[in-house]
Amino acid sequence: MSKEQFFETLWNRMAQQGDFPTLQYCVDNIFQTLNGDLTVGEMATSVLSDFSLSQKVIRLANSAMYRSFGGEVTTVSRAILVLGVEAISHLTLGIQLLDYFHGVAPQRPQATKALQRALVAGEITRALSHARGINEGEEAVVCTLMHHMSRLLVVFYFPDEWERVEAMCATHPMTENEACQAVLGVSMEEIAEAAARKWRLPGIIAHAMKPRLPAPDTVLETHADWLAAIAHVSAQAAAAMVRDGTQESVQELLTAHAKMLGLTTGDVAIAVRQADTLNTSIIRSEAPAEAAAPVGTGGDPEDMLRRLRQGLDEVRREGAGLSVSQLAPMVLETTMRAMNFSRCFLMMLNPATKRFHARLGFGEGMREKLPALSFEEGFVPDVFHFAGLADKPLLIEDAFDPSIAHRIPRWYRDAMPDAKSILLAPVRMRNRCIALIYGDWGATRCAWQLGEAELNAVDELTREIAAGVLRAAPQRTEP
């Protein structure tokens, strides 16, 4: 077929199968994430919306490479502090693409290696750029993944033709790109470039898709040349790692091209180790995840008190060196995981306006609900103000019970119409409530009696936030 016929067929097949709008949204969201200046809380909110992703993030943070940071990682918030927002952004990008293509064609085993190669190549690019301190690292990651996107698109939308491409490569001394040109009348680079333009990625990324086969002594004259070169070399290295499962050949290949890319052997060593960690994590992710209670499934989680105390130990171990914006997500997520909340959020007092505002929330739909969750500090006889006056967390077992329903404020009920059991834990400093931790179990009633030990553990967690605010007080400008 001609090049024009190929692209017309590709876009039509994607549109007919209903996949293109979903993939367009995925790509748009990924690019916003990579270019956004996200806080730990914002990134944690994004990751925690997907239980599978959150488990993979925690698993990677607990891998051998990162154990030097000290202590077991039990929360996404802590994992982000260990790995960094940039690394989590890339991992999120990869998993989103992985999950998308698995959903489109779960029965195509030949795609597994292609997906694995794409993610490992992206990690090699990210690690090389980060080790060298190159600011355009995430831009290079997108270029690398887009180079692999052409292979994925052919695998999923032209499966018969892809089998012919593989057969030609197996029986003739030719590359995938040459075989693709012979079978489909279009090169892999042309597919990647067209997809980048179709998905409205920046022009420099689309331009970097153009065919470039750099030799170790190639002189790179433009940024687009460098983007294309690092994407191509990372792709070769990823193919070797996925095929051989060893670091030696990858190290040799990258070292040969290091000078051309402006890298050092130290940069290469770091990238190889991190890519190998991700490659191992992907392989393990195909196996059933370790037993863990998904966040927000309701019911009494086993060993609630043990989880609370474990989380408290982790927060205390790390908290002294964290800002409030880093500490608060850890406390909120620890409480949510230990108590198995469906949703939770943290409300902070703004001393200037004398109002509490929800600043951080985890659970389905919480990001959209946060702006509506606000109330004045001045006393009103409702459960939020009662909780603010309490010395310990307040559990409301049935918010619809006539004896308590009139104490549920309208602003809250409009945002959370189904919440039945509610836990409100005040954060107090100098005899004033400065924040509230909220959690619920959705429409499920809390079917057990929380003991004094559990409530005390939650109270201890709230005190860590208060301690963080107090530590930051000398640097604060507001009264």
- The more confident residue out of 354 and 48 is 354
Note the pLDDT of residue 20.
47
Q: Residue 91's Cα: distance from chain center in Å?
A: 6
Note the pLDDT of residue 459.
95
pLDDT digits (tens, 9 = 90+) for 370-418: 999 999 999 999 999 999 999 999 999 999 999 999 999 999 999 999 9
The rounded mean pLDDT for the chain is 79
d(CA 345, CA 323): 18
Work out the average pLDDT over 154-164: 86
SS3 355: strand
Confidence bin at 293 (pLDDT 50/70/90): very low
Is pLDDT at 210 greater than 80 in this prediction?
no
CATH placement of domain 304-475: 3.30.450.40
Q: In the chain, where are the structural domains located?
A: 3-37+84-285, 304-475
Note the pLDDT of residue 474.
62
Helices (H), 199-262: 203-207, 223-244, 248-261
Phi, psi of 197 (to 5 degrees): -70, -40
Confidence bin at 38 (pLDDT 50/70/90): low
In percent, how much of the chain has pLDDT > 70?
77
Q: Containing H/E element for 30?
A: helix 20-35
Give residues with Cβ within 8 angstroms of 131, minimum separation 6.
263, 266, 267, 270, 271
Note the pLDDT of residue 36.
54
Phi, psi of 202 (to 5 degrees): -55, 150
CATH placement of domain 3-37+84-285: 1.10.3210.10
Note the pLDDT of residue 436.
96
- The more confident residue out of 108 and 389 is 389
Work out the average pLDDT over 15-25: 55
Note the pLDDT of residue 131.
74
pLDDT digits (tens, 9 = 90+) for 56-85: 677 766 654 444 455 677 778 887 777 777
Note the pLDDT of residue 375.
96
What's the pTM? Answer: 0.58
